[in-house]
A and B are shown apart, each in its own frame.
Chain A
Amino acid sequence: MATLNWLCHGMLAAGLVMPCMTFVSRMGDATDIARAAGLIPDPKTYSVLSGILALFEDGDVLIGGVLLVFSVLFPVAKLIAVRLVLGCATRGAIPPGMLKAVTALSKYSMVDVFVIALLVVASKTMPGGSRIRPEWGLLAFGAAALLSMGLTSAVRRATTSAG
């Protein structure tokens, strides 16, 4: 389980800095002319971190802060908490609130993935064929979240059966 936890660390890091989604602006069959005329921007790719940074730069501090908390701080905190639980389990003494904290943190670490999934679905109704294209960084982030959820469940089962 310690190895899986380190794998989660790597996948979370990948999910935070690698391309997460690409905004593609289109104007139907007039896209190329409009792009040549400078009316629509070129496709723009964001990672989770660069997207949060862009929100702060644009003045959307509240939304950027929410995404920072639920997309970065909560997942990192959960990985740290799982490591602490694993460490305490090997010493045979898990603090009572630790497992509850891990469970609580795991509830919110998928929020960003859900937000992006909603954006992708909503973008399918945009006019002119504009859309948000998910990139593989999103898969890494989602996989990290799912893997850590599974790790949390395994830790809970292991500590319950040992108790």
Chain B
Amino acid sequence: MEARPPGTPRRALPSFLWTGATSLLAIAAVAGIYLAARSRLPEREAEAPASPEREGTELIEGMDYRVMVAVARIKPEKPDGGKWDSGSSSNAAPDPFYEIWWRGNRVYESHEVEDVLVASWSNVALPELYALLTGAKLSLETIKEGALITARLSDAIDIRILDDDPIHDDVIEEFTIGMTELRVGDQLREGRYGLESATLRVIPRDTRQLEHFIR
């Protein structure tokens, strides 16, 4: 083997490969540590507060809005473990309906939905909104579900979700929401008593606010 004379620089190629490999390894290691740490934090990300874009538009003082319970998801049993409706197990599911109270008055009572644990009262809202937003000539006034309220930021509304029974209606859930908590669009409300969760929907009554954004 031919000896290398003293002072002759080492061959560049092995040095380049070694340097390149260690640099790539270092970059991959840092990236891998971050990705591994992120994959272990799904609970914390789920608890993180929603970004402002997801919180929704606040109600405007003096404007009219239609408030409704779009969907109510009811627990399979009463909090005391009893069935919602008496009789055989085939008709033990509740017959939910809801009331909206505002300023001490009941301003809306929905129809009941028979024998369900997931009740929906707003099948008509979103398709009509979709038609409106895609240019069809349709007024939001055709949506009659829910209570029509005027936003007063100092006010609150009471929502009662009940199980329709012949003698005495069982209270599934009852809660109060301040107008400052309401947001345009859908918002989820967790239940504490007989309700797992409910989706509240708030729609501005005045279509002029939306016309600017309709093609």
Given A80-B19, A83-B23, check contact A32 B9 (CB 8 Å): no
Would you call A52 an interface residue if the criterion is a C-beta within 8 Å of the partner chain's C-beta atoms? no
- Is the C-beta of B154 less than 8 angstroms from some C-beta in chain A? no
A 5-34 contacts with B by CB, 8 A: 6, 9-10, 12-14, 16-18, 24, 26-34
- Across the interface, name the chain B residue whose C-beta is closest to A13: B30
Give the chain B neighbours of A36 by CB distance below 8 A: 126, 129, 185-186, 201
A28 vs chain B, min Cβ distance (A):
5
A80 to B183, alpha carbons, bound, how many Å? 53
Q: What is the bound-complex CA distance between A31 and B209, given in angstroms? A: 12
Interface of A is mostly: helix
Query: How many angstroms from the CA of A32 to the CA of B201 in the assembled complex?
Result: 10
B-chain residues with CB within 8 Å of residue A12 when the two chains form the complex? 27
**In the complex, which range does the number of interface residues on chain B fall in?**
35 or more
Judge whether B53 and A9 touch: CB under 8 Å. Answer: no
**Chain B contacts of A37 at CB under 8 A?**
126, 129-130, 133
Looking at chain B's contact residues, the main secondary structure is: helix
**Residue in contact with A91 in the complex, picked from B9, B23, B51, B54, CB distance below 8 Å:** B9
The distance from the CB of A105 to the nearest CB of chain B, in whole angstroms, is 13
* Inter-chain CB contacts under 8 Å: number: 91
Chain B, range 158-215, C-beta contacts under 8 Å to A = 183-186, 201, 203, 209-210, 212-213
User: Nearest Cβ in chain A — how far from B187, in angstroms?
Assistant: 9
Cα A16 to Cα B28 with chains together (Å): 10
13 A–B contacts from the bound complex (CB under 8 Å): A9-B26, A12-B27, A13-B27, A14-B34, A17-B31, A30-B213, A31-B57, A32-B56, A33-B133, A33-B185, A33-B203, A83-B23, A128-B213
Q: Which A-B residue pairs are the 9 nearest by beta carbons?
A: A32-B185, A13-B30, A13-B27, A17-B31, A13-B31, A36-B186, A36-B185, A32-B56, A9-B26
